[in-house]
Amino acid sequence: MRRPIVFAILLMLFSACGGVDVAEVGDEALKVLSLSPRADETGVAQNTEVVVVFSDQVSTGDGEDNVNSDTFYLEEVGGGVVTGVTLTPSSLDADSTIVLSGLSLDSGTAYEIVVRASVTGNNTEAIGVEVRSAFRTVD
């Protein structure tokens, strides 16, 4: 019985103080809809392509809010960033799907896909949290 009264009092207090606009806390943040290879996948081919699908159109190019080799990359777990790869928009959906290709990965090795928190969509705010997903290549 006390909960409705407490809720009503809190509601009045927040209304009197102006409350918090939900849009101000990032309800329109960019999201990663899928990553390939999937998290914890094993037996991945050494020449696989790494694919990220975003919830909104993204731009490639310089800058921390764009998708580039500083904001979307592959690294060996416990090692360094994989170099010599090509980052391109997908031919299927060039605005929201980005592909890392040209990979020649070591066998039986754990890798991690990284998408930095600063990446923004063309119509959305930054992801706001670094996205990491690990997989292992075939032995």
Q: Work out the mean pLDDT of the chain and round it to a whole number.
A: 83
What's the average model confidence in pLDDT over 99-123? 95
pLDDT tens track for 44-71: 999 999 999 999 999 888 999 999 999 9
Please count the other Cβ atoms lying within 10 Å of the Cβ belonging to residue 45: 12
| Domain 23-137 CATH assignment equals 2.60.40.1220 | yes
Sheet of strand 97-101: strand arrangement: 32-36, 50-54, 97-101, 86-89
What's this model's pTM, rounded to 2 decimal places? 0.76
